[in-house]
Homo-oligomer: A and B are copies of this chain.
């Protein structure tokens, strides 16, 4: 049996698991926002997986992995992997599918940070922009073998920089431009927190993300015979465990409560920060990196609040700051080139440059697309839509109707179409029957 057979099966399974992470983003975000916006965040994830998928397949993949021009971008179209010379035998559409999962994850990072006040059509435009331009460009620079950062020797195994830091800093720029949710910051400089609507749902999301992350990192080998595969898996586990442990104990010590959303974000921070170097670290380094990321996420959350930028789920702290940390950590802990492990400085310099490039491009790209939305469909929901909740405003339906048995709302739900004489499908949801 040839290796290509196993590699194809392996990457198809890994792709399914990575794409399943979208379910994790959805439940995590739906659980952390207020009830009145839980449908909206779910619908945004469906936008990522539908509109985003088509956009990346049609355009983004070719910009990222197509034939290189100037080290800057690719010039192919239509999910065509023929120009890629993979170092290992693998059925090429499995590679495209796996990359799709990565692109879609990048949008979903932004989704969380802009929750509860963005115009739904603006979100669609942003998803298109991220999948066709924002992500494929840095992806090209870092992962296309002819990309300029790849040529310099930047290491980003599964995407702490290319996906997480990029998504996180684009999210920061867009959230800044979008402004905070109404009532989030007080005039005296203090802040209010809106209680998450559903902690068990958010937990479910975290477990799905964790599950998928094993495929995210180990699948990035693209090769079952890669001897780093098992070490990557255990590093992923250990970093998540130590990130969560530090966040858990720190919140207990600092605030007297073991905070669930911060513990979850500590776990996710461990996962984000190990992603760039999961194949290059020892297990002890993985534990150390996870632990540091658990510290970073708490102080980065405070810092984002200090900037008066409103991030309902902590995506900027988790993905942005820890994505950068993970990228730099490769320069510090890499087994063969790291500063702390070998005394070498050159890899660290390249990683710092790469991180700076990603931050800059994320901020510029995010600001541009936010401005484009402002000039076209409008970036922000109206005050009335925000007050009512985006669920009713954009989707005509609340997330939970569990109280229906206590209410008695008369309704004639369907529209009656004059032209056809028949009743219309259950999509407008103007009123609620019970």
Q: Scoring A residues 102 to 132 as 1 if CB is less than 8 Å from chain B, else 0, what string do you get?
A: 0000000000000000001000000000000
The residues of A with any CB-CB pair to B shorter than 8 Å are 1-3, 5-6, 8-13, 15-17, 19-20, 22-23, 26-27, 30-31, 34-36, 38-39, 42-43, 45-47, 49-51, 53-54, 57, 78-79, 91-94, 96-97, 100, 120, 183, 186, 189-201, 203-204, 206-208, 210-211, 214-215, 218, 224-225, 227, 229-231, 233-234, 237-238, 240-245, 248, 251, 254-264, 266-267, 283, 287, 298, 301-302, 305-306, 389, 391, 394-402, 404-405, 411-416, 422-429, 432-434
Q: Are B197 and A394 in contact (CB under 8 A)?
A: no
Q: Are A192 and B411 in contact (CB under 8 A)?
A: yes
What residue of chain B has the Cβ atom nearest to residue A23's Cβ?
B207
What residue of chain B has the Cβ atom nearest to residue A29's Cβ?
B200
Q: Are A399 and B192 in contact (CB under 8 A)?
A: no
Q: Are A203 and B35 in contact (CB under 8 A)?
A: no
Q: In whole angstroms, how far apart are the Cα atoms of A2 and B189 in the complex?
A: 63
Q: Are A195 and B257 in contact (CB under 8 A)?
A: no
Q: Are A426 and B261 in contact (CB under 8 A)?
A: yes
Q: In whole angstroms, how far apart are the Cα atoms of A418 and B193 in the complex?
A: 19
Q: Are B97 and A234 in contact (CB under 8 A)?
A: yes
| Partner of A53 from B10, B193, B214, B238 at Cβ < 8 Å | B238
With A8-B224, A245-B51, A411-B192 given, is the CB distance from A42 to B199 under 8 Å? Answer: yes
With A23-B207, A50-B244 given, is the CB distance from A397 to B260 under 8 Å? Answer: yes
Q: Are A255 and B9 in contact (CB under 8 A)?
A: no
Q: In whole angstroms, how far apart are the Cα atoms of A36 and B434 in the complex?
A: 10
Q: Are B94 and A426 in contact (CB under 8 A)?
A: no
With A50-B242, A242-B50 given, is the CB distance from A404 to B23 under 8 Å? Answer: no
With A207-B23, A413-B191 given, is the CB distance from A9 to B12 under 8 Å? Answer: no
Q: In whole angstroms, how far apart are the Cα atoms of A36 and B401 in the complex?
A: 10
Note all chain B residues with C-beta closer than 8 A to A402: 35, 197-198, 399-400, 402
Extra pairs beyond A36-B405, A43-B258 (19, CB < 8 Å): A5-B225, A8-B224, A16-B17, A19-B210, A46-B248, A50-B267, A93-B233, A96-B234, A97-B230, A97-B237, A186-B412, A192-B413, A193-B414, A199-B399, A255-B415, A255-B424, A255-B427, A259-B397, A399-B402
Note all chain B residues with C-beta closer than 8 A to A412: 186, 190, 192
Q: Are B230 and A91 in contact (CB under 8 A)?
A: yes
Note all chain B residues with C-beta closer than 8 A to A196: 397, 401
Q: Are A428 and B255 in contact (CB under 8 A)?
A: yes
With A5-B6, A260-B39 given, is the CB distance from A241 to B20 under 8 Å? Answer: no
Q: Are A183 and B1 in contact (CB under 8 A)?
A: no
What residue of chain B has the Cβ atom nearest to residue A184's Cβ?
B433
What residue of chain B has the Cβ atom nearest to residue A203's Cβ?
B42
